[in-house]
Structure 1
């Protein structure tokens, strides 16, 4: 049976472009709705995760939005329907959306979010689920939920945001629902870099290609170690995981190739094995 690849999978609400070195650009494609999240987009993000998990040709994913927005959060039509939605149906939809964000966070390859515009609610959760965030100076960020009479804790934000910006800044943003600029987001560590709009994708691609030049197994184990050890019960347990991953990585073909290339003074050619 032929394995599905990201470059050959059809999407309605996502655009996928394959670049060199295994870099794939995924664009949220509902520009007239500022790429707001609805069931169809959640379903396609879930499918995206399934394909990336199974496609060894994908080394790095760059996530961005079509038009002037990155992702405005939940579709307004969905929000206005909430009062008439049963508790059971709402919980089912809530759980499904949250599972997609969690799955996106667990992708085995690095994800670079190129945040091009307004980023709110579930859109912020999606950006936080990326490993690195680069922002256009036209972007802004807001948790938003609390301003809609809902809890500020939604689709993983209460777990993701404090780990990126710290508990103090996360509390301020989540309790007030205030909007912050890209420059403020950089100051608190929400994004790593702010650039002019025409420099956003080139900056993201530069980082993506840098990541793609590294052994896929080394990246996978590093990402896994970071995710697990941020909540490690002790330094000893964190080091135990590191020790095992280092021994595992040292037995890979990529580690042998890295040593060969280093001694030869030439770029390594990694295969992911």
Structure 2
């Protein structure tokens, strides 16, 4: 059984098994981001934050592009900053636009980006902020900011890309602003799968995640990304030890052990 909700700019489909599929829905503009789309995607993701039925989120897009990035034809002041100075207003607008990257990265539920077309500039950054990426043969990434007189490091790309592919590879992609085609995205480890139907594959991955306890999944995401920048092995292991001790004391741990012994699926209650 599925259910769906939608706004003018995003749609959310709730699938059986705790998977929600959120789609950008501005295909006539190649899903380019303006403030309205930022607001719509933020609202969709925040609505799922405390939805106990949703365990994993798949982020896709309608149309032939995942996202062409920032909508340069719709550059305008952030609502409410009309009286600001040029620098102050520009910074407020910049901070609002980039807020989606930490929202996705720190969201308590795993987010899988299903990229079926071009992901440029801000679109690339949104995909990189996700925990897992699945791409189609038509997908491409491009740090397009540098093509329009800006630096290529924006929307968190200077953090995500070097961590995912290394500083040298990241420098080449960012400084050239070139299009990275789907096979190279896969070879670089930026995507887990290259398939004709990335939404379907992302849903399969999502359902393999929902087979595990909600607490265990949430802590795995939290510890994985926290320890990317851990100052030492000891610091990383201290966080792991805290998490495993907490997980050991949950009721779901006992349920998992019982299910393993009885050779049946576990029935997790997130307790």
Equivalent residue number for residue 30 of structure 2 = 34
Unaligned runs of 5+ in 2: 78-84
Q: Measure the CA separation in 2 of the matches of 1:43 and 1:225.
A: 28
The alignment status of 1:210 with 2:208, answered yes or no, reads: yes
Equivalent residue number for residue 201 of structure 1 = 199
CA 1:10–1:117 in 2, change beyond 3 Å: closer, same or farther?
Answer: closer
**Contact 2:121–2:144, Cα closer than 8 Å, also in 1:** yes
Deviation, structure 1 residue 195: 1.1
Worse overlay, 14-23 or 86-95: 86-95
Q: Measure the CA separation in 2 of the matches of 1:272 and 1:128.
A: 29
TM-score, structure 1 normalization: 0.92
The alignment status of 1:11 with 2:14, answered yes or no, reads: no
User: Residues 35-65 of structure 1: CA distance to partner in whole angstroms, max 9, x if unpaired?
Assistant: 1111011112222232222212110000111
Equivalent residue number for residue 187 of structure 2 = 187
Deviation, structure 1 residue 179: 0.5
**Contact 1:52–1:107, Cα closer than 8 Å, also in 2:** no
Corresponding residue to 2:270 among 255, 262, 272? 272
Equivalent residue number for residue 119 of structure 2 = 119
User: Residues 11-43 of structure 1: CA distance to partner in whole angstroms, max 9, x if unpaired?
Assistant: 221011110111000010000111111101111
Deviation, structure 1 residue 10: 5.0
**Contact 1:186–1:194, Cα closer than 8 Å, also in 2:** yes
Equivalent residue number for residue 3 of structure 1 = none
The alignment status of 1:45 with 2:41, answered yes or no, reads: yes
Equivalent residue number for residue 261 of structure 1 = 259
Unaligned runs of 5+ in 1: 1-6
Deviation, structure 1 residue 225: 0.3
Please tell me the root mean square deviation across aligned C-alpha atoms, in Å. 1.8
Equivalent residue number for residue 225 of structure 1 = 223
Deviation, structure 1 residue 130: 0.8
User: Residues 70-127 of structure 1: CA distance to partner in whole angstroms, max 9, x if unpaired?
Assistant: 011001213599xxx9222211011112122111111111111110101001111110
Deviation, structure 1 residue 217: 0.5
Corresponding residue to 1:70 among 57, 61, 66? 66
- Structure 1 runs of 4+ aligned residues shifted over 3 Å read 7-10, 78-81
- Please state whether the residue corresponding to 1:171 is helix, strand or coil: helix
Equivalent residue number for residue 97 of structure 2 = 97
Instruction: Count residues with an aligned counterpart.
Output: 263
**Contact 2:22–2:44, Cα closer than 8 Å, also in 1:** no
